[in-house]
Each structure stands twice: as structure tokens, then as C-alpha cells.
Amino acid sequence: STGKPTIYKGLVGVYADVSAISKVMPETNSLTYRGYAVQDLAENCSFEEVAYLLWEGELPNAAQLAAFKAETAAEREISPALHRVIREFPKDGHPMDAIRTAVSFMGMEDPETADVSDAAQRRKAKRLFAKIPTAIAAAYRASKGLEPLRPDPSHSFAENVFHLIQGKVPQPEVLKAFDVSMILYAEHTFNASTYTARLVTSSGAEMHGAITAGIASLKGPLHGGANEAVMHMLKEVGGPEQAEEWLSTRFDHKALVMGFGHRVYKSGDSRVPTMTKYAEKMAEVVGDRRWMETSRVLAAKMLREKNIHPNLDFPAGPAYYLMGFEIPLFTPLFVAARITGWASHVLEQAADNRLIRPLSWYTGLEQRPVPPMSAR
């Protein structure tokens, strides 16, 4: 038939469903989780409190938080079988492929893998939240020929990540900056990976499948992969002195500048000021101002000449670098945070589900008969 319908390429501007988890308000550059401003949560809460908030809908009281921390800390160990699988991973494999594969394997081992009841899915989400840093760290250390470290249940979420990956727990300012990054990365409405997780859920598939797919989506450089791309870019620029000229050359080639632009925010990402503040603190703690000064020059020129603002990945990249993480771990750290938002959306989708199945407008060849083999 004729009469091509309006095609919303990239689903730009399409409301695909309702959600009560978070709200992005691009007019005011603001974002709330369950009604609380992210800046407020980042300054005043731990990541564990925010995980609880996203899943339960309310902030925990002291007893609820203690129970949540104890319950998840007790689930941090990964199985001997998963440790063996991780040791078999290609040493030069990307850490995002490692965590995607590890989460998929965890699904096969999970005692409630096929149980998609709300209660079982919540327990699986907590297990993933607890085990993902352990698997990221084990794969990272295996790639370096190092033995994995055992999680310590007395550690906070942030302490645990540093202990497992770096073998040491840093000073409180560093832990706070890391926790802030986790809170800011936790949730962001229907971004590509979250929508992927909801789409997988809509067929009745289980938690680990949805999260595995979410990780696959997050890896792309237009999405979560941008935080590592930002740091590669800053290193390529070299320093603030070269930044103006480097960016002019990018403009000449009409090349994308990583860590800039956003589908929803057109006048600034709500999370950037808070993350920039903590990235600056990291620069002070480490005594290395080069990356933040380079960032400042790039951001000023992008705004002046292209009217494009940075997104969260722009300050998160140098923040993680200054915290001592290797660049390929940056997007896996985003996974460790976003598991909270993904799982929250999986639960919400499942609670009021309808199979997600859009239409495609056909632009291929007219219908034709199959020719016999001799005529091809």
C-alpha cells in the first residue's frame, strides 16, 4: 500500500510507556529518582541507599539500610565455576564483553533463574548488584595474570569495588567521589540499554537475560562506551595548551567529540555539575590538574562554537582515571551502577507488561516468484 506513515527514526520524541522510576526535565536540566533530585541524593546518600530507593520506591531507614547492606554484602562471592570460566576468557578481551559473559553465566547458575515472579526477580537483582563488581574485578585481574581477591562483607559498595580491583581501599574523598559517580550513573529513564532490558523483559524473559542485553547495549560508544572514549580523547589531546587546536581539527573533519551531546538534554546534562565538582576534587587529591583543565578548554569551545554541552560521561571519564582505574574498566563501572536502574525497569515492565513489538515500513523489492536453481 502507499501512504508511508511517519517514521520516528531512533524513536526520537516517542513516549514508549509510562514509568514512575525517574524523571528527566530537560527544560530545567534536572533529574529526579522517585521524586528526589539526583544532586541531593549524590551529596547526602550512599549508593546503597539509592539502590534501595530505586527498587523499593522509598529511601531506607537505618534498620532497612543495615539489612539491605548485610543481605547484598553476603552475596558478593562468585562461584568457583564462574572463576574457572573467567580464567578461560581471552586475555585481550574487552572488560565489557567479560562482564556481559559473566552475567549471562550467572543466569545459568542462579537457583531461581527461570522464576520470573516479582519476589524472585528482586532477589536476582540483589545478587547481580552484589556479584557484578566481583566478576568485573576477577576478569580484570585474570587478564593481568593476577589472582582474584576475596570480597570483604564489612566493606561498603564503594570500598568493595576498590578492594577487589585495586587491592586497596582509598581515602574517604575518593570513596565519596566514586559513590557520587555510582549514584549519578544509576538511572536515566528510557536510555538505549534500559529500553533494551525492558524489551527483553516484555517477552517474559528473565532478569539475567535482560541485564545481559542491557550490558551489550551499554558498550556502544554512542552510549556508555563514551566514558572510556572521553579519556582516550583527553590523552590524545595531551593537555590544555593543545585543546583548542585539537578540537578545531575535529570540527574540520566533522568528527564526533566524545562525551558531548545528548538525546534528551539540549541545554546541559543535569548530572554534569555534580560529577565535575567531584572530578575536580580528584584532580586536587591526586595533584594532577591536566585532565580537568583540558576538559574545561574543550567544553568551553564546544559550547561557544557548536552550542553542544557535555554529558555525564565527560567528567566521569577523567574522574575514574584519577581514581586509578584503567580506561577499559570505565564502562564496566557504569554497569555496576546501572544494574540498579535496569533491574528497577525490569520489575516495572513485568508488573504491567505488554509485549513490545513495533511495526516496520517495508521498502524492499516488490513480491516476486522464486526462480528455479538453474535460472539464478
Is residue 371 within 8 A of residue 14, CB to CB? The reply is: no
367 vs 225, 313, 363, CA distance in Å?
A: 41, 47, 11
Q: Specify the stretch interacting with ligand SDX by CB under 6 A; choose among 102-110, 123-131, 223-231, 281-289.
A: 223-231
Least distance CB 247 / ligand SDX (angstroms): 10
Q: Amino acid identity, residue 154? A: S
List the one residue out of 118, 119, 148 whose CA is nearest residue 131: 148
Interaction of residue 258 with ligand SDX, rule CB under 6 A: yes
Least distance CB 314 / ligand SDX (angstroms): 7
State how far the Cα of 283 lies from the Cα of 78, in Å rounded to an integer. 34
Which grid cell is 118? 516479582
Interaction of residue 260 with ligand SDX, rule CB under 6 A: yes
Which grid cell is 111? 537457583
Q: Specify the stretch interacting with ligand SDX by CB under 6 A; choose among 109-117, 174-182, 309-317, 342-350.
A: 309-317
Which is closer to ligand SDX, CB of 25 or CB of 74?
25
Active site amino acids: 262, 313
DSSP one-letter string for 334-355: HHHHHHHHHHHHHHHHHHT---
CB hemisphere CA count around 357 (13 angstroms) = 5
Interaction of residue 256 with ligand SDX, rule CB under 6 A: yes
Interaction of residue 22 with ligand SDX, rule CB under 6 A: no
Interaction of residue 278 with ligand SDX, rule CB under 6 A: no
Which grid cell is 35? 521524586
Q: Specify the stretch interacting with ligand SDX by CB under 6 A; choose among 28-36, 200-208, 291-299, 307-315.
A: 307-315
Interaction residues for ligand SDX, span 63-92 (CB under 6 A): none
Least distance CB 195 / ligand SDX (angstroms): 9
List the one residue out of 273, 258, 271 whose CA is nearest residue 308: 258
Cα radius of gyration (the chain) = 22
Of 223, 281, 301, 309, which lies in the binding site for ligand SDX, with binding defined by CB under 6 A? Answer: 223
Interaction of residue 11 with ligand SDX, rule CB under 6 A: no
Q: What angle do CA 341, 346, 351 make, to 5 degrees?
A: 125
Interaction of residue 16 with ligand SDX, rule CB under 6 A: no
Which is closer to ligand SDX, CB of 134 or CB of 217?
217
# residues contacting ligand SDX (CB under 6 A): 19
Which is closer to ligand SDX, CB of 169 or CB of 264?
264
Element (H, E) at 33: strand 30-33
List contacts with ligand SDX (CB under 6 A): 10, 188, 191, 222-224, 226, 256-263, 308, 311-313
